[in-house]
Amino acid sequence: MNDPRRPVLAHVIESLASRRDAFAAIMAGGSAASLAVLGNRESEAKKRRKKKTCKAPKRKCGQKCVSLVSSKHCGGCSTRCTQGTSCLEGVCCAGGSVNCRGNCRVDCPPPVANRPFPQRLTYGASKPNLWTQDQLDNHVRAAYASWKSRYLIEAGRDGNGNRLCRVALGKPGSDGHKATVSEGQGYGMVIVATMAGHDPEAQEVFDGLWRFSRAHPSVVDSRLMDWNVPGKDGNDSAFDGDCDMAYGLLLATAQFGSGGSFDYRAELDRTLAGILASTIGPASRLPMLGDWVDANGGAYNQYTPRTSDFMPGHFRAFGRATGNGVWASALAACQDVVTMLQTNFSATTGLLPDFVQPQSPGNPAPRPASPNFLEGAHDGDYSYNAGRDPWRLGTDALINGDLTSGVQARKISDWAKAATAGNPNGFRSGYRLDGSTWNDTNYFTTFFVAPLGVAAMTDARSQNWVNAIYGAVFEKREDYFEDSVTLLCLLVMTGNFWDPTR
């Protein structure tokens, strides 16, 4: 058993032993060197005792204890408020404004949540039933608290003193904790808007996430976000991040109204315009990998999508919100590709590849991508992109009652249940489309299993399978990617995910 006191006890024991040895040497007629040893030990101990500590709420800045609500140290060491602003509870705000839950405003209205968590919807599906609804809601609250404490980062202030927030690409202490991808911003905006009502600062955090994304636009289409901040691989967009951010803005329009820092509907319309212009294939109507793709290009074009970018529920909601029929076309195109892949390449398993390529330059019919198409040797396998597909397809089936998405999601879930004999802990982390595996997939992660739970909920005959999956994932914490996807799946599995257009 690990005892957190062990390092302290070991230090004390070591110190006592050293003093004992030195004193023994003196008593035995030891040399001046022995006296020096004892003297040095005593001197070091005094220095440690005199080491300056600061009493809360002050904090040590250099060698001084300072208040972090002063104009010279506002919210952080040496963070000075500029002329015309003053420090209000750790935030530099202009005259006439107040610090409203971390943002500078002329007033501070109470938190808004038109559809507060928990929503407790049924979707007409098989929710986990070994737990009460109160317990399910509390599981989400606990997962959200963990996610927020580990991955939600305060990223400074804008020119008006308002907070910027980002979602870290890794847990604290990892290299990824210093970086952010647009995918994470999208996940964060959907999660935080959904948790309003439970989290009193949800709108302020949501606005901070959106400000950060707008502070880092794509260099190709500035209506979209730079996919990797700070990044070395270009500053263009990735479809999934922008699509989830757009859904987050749609949620915010319904959840918070239009009285905040942003006109969410105007932000949504601009974002959707960018997505349609730069990342939806003009002929294929499939999501392109990002705004860097030439629709009619060579290796990457409008017929080379990532299957996890197929978000039928989002497309349906965008269509209802805007009345633009292009979203129905995009939805139909994605469902057609899934059907063709499941029919021609994974008839037994229903598994989908991470990436898709056309059969040939003259034949756009889909096939699994070749190895090393974009990310690695398993680009044509069911790996760390396609693992999200059962969640995306299953959510559309549950929220919208779509039969096609339901059939596609259940095909994957049914195979997984049979392959593991109903034990989700035996589901491996990656498969070829025929259900075979490779050497380094023999481990469990919630990333692959939680999406299966959403897909399983579409089948009333799979109640035990739903319960087993939920029990395997709801308490586990791993890293940014796994925990974010799992939390989004928990929102669906507990009946707390909702469509703002329904």
Catalytic residue (choose from 137, 183, 381, 482):
183
Rounded to whole angstroms, the Cα distance separating 389 from 309 reads 9
Cis omega before residue 230 (within 30°)? yes
183 is catalytic: yes
Which residues are CB-neighbours of 358 under 8 A, at least 6 positions away?
303, 304, 364, 365, 366, 367
Q: How far is CA 371 from the centre of its chain?
A: 27
Q: How far is CA 491 from the centre of its chain?
A: 13
Rounded to whole angstroms, the Cα distance separating 169 from 183 reads 9
Q: Which residues pair with 94 in a beta bridge?
A: 85
Q: Based on C-alpha coordinates, what's the Rg of the chain?
A: 27
Neighbours of 52 (CB within 10 A): 8
Rounded to whole angstroms, the Cα distance separating 388 from 447 reads 8
375 is catalytic: no
Sign of CA dihedral 404, 405, 410, 416: positive
Looking at this protein, which amino acid is placed at residue 349? T
Q: Which residues of 291-303 are buried (b: 16+ CB within 10 A; e: fewer)?
A: bbbebeeeebbbb
Q: Which residues pair with 88 in a beta bridge?
A: 91
Catalytic residue (choose from 199, 204, 240, 483):
240
Rounded to whole angstroms, the Cα distance separating 482 from 124 reads 27
Give the count of alpha carbons within 13 A of 200, CB side only: 6
Q: Is 107 exposed, middle or buried (0-12, 13-18, 19+ CB in 10 A)?
A: exposed
Rounded to whole angstroms, the Cα distance separating 423 from 468 reads 7
Helix, strand, or coil (residue 198): coil
Query: In degrees to the nearest 10, what's the CA dihedral of 251, 255, 260, 261?
Result: -20
CB 351 within 8 A of CB 412: yes
Catalytic residues: 183, 240
